[in-house]
Chain A
Amino acid sequence: DAGITQSPRHKVTETGTPVTLRCHQTENHRYMYWYRQDPGHGLRLIHYSYGVKDTDKGEVSDGYSVSRSKTEDFLLTLESATSSQTSVYFCAISEQGSHEQYFGPGTRLTVT
Chain B
Amino acid sequence: GQNIDQPTEMTATEGAIVQINCTYQTSGFNGLFWYQQHAGEAPTFLSYNVLDGLEEKGRFSSFLSRSKGYSYLLLKELQMKDSASYLCAVKDSGAGSYQLTFGKGTKLSVIP
Contacts and interface: CB of A to CB of B under 8 A. Distances in A.
A56 B41 CA distance: 26
Given A101-B45, A103-B43, A43 B99 contact: no
B12 interface: no
Contact of B99 (A58, A96, A99, A106): A58
Contacts of A103: 42-44
Q: SS class of chain A's interface: helix, strand, loop or mixed?
A: strand
B100 A101 contact: yes
A64 interface: no
A99 B45 CA distance: 10
Nearest to A56: B96
B43 A43 contact: yes
B29 to A, nearest CB: 13
Interface stretch (A12-20, A44-52, A66-74): A44-52
Contacts of B31: 99
B100 A41 contact: no
A14 to B, nearest CB: 25
Interface residues on B, range: 20 to 34
Interface residues on A, range: 20 to 34
B60 interface: no
B87 A45 contact: no
Contacts of B42: 90, 103-106
Interface string A10-51: 000000000000000000000101010000111111001010
A90 B43 contact: yes
A45 B91 contact: no
Given A40-B104, A99-B31, A99-B33, A45 B45 contact: no
A64 to B, nearest CB: 16
Question: Top 4 A-B pairs ranked by shortest CB distance?
Answer: A42-B104, A103-B42, A43-B102, A99-B48
Interface of A: 31, 33, 35, 40-45, 48, 50, 58-59, 90, 94, 96, 99-106
Given A99-B50, A99-B91, 4 more contacts: A43-B102, A45-B100, A96-B98, A100-B48
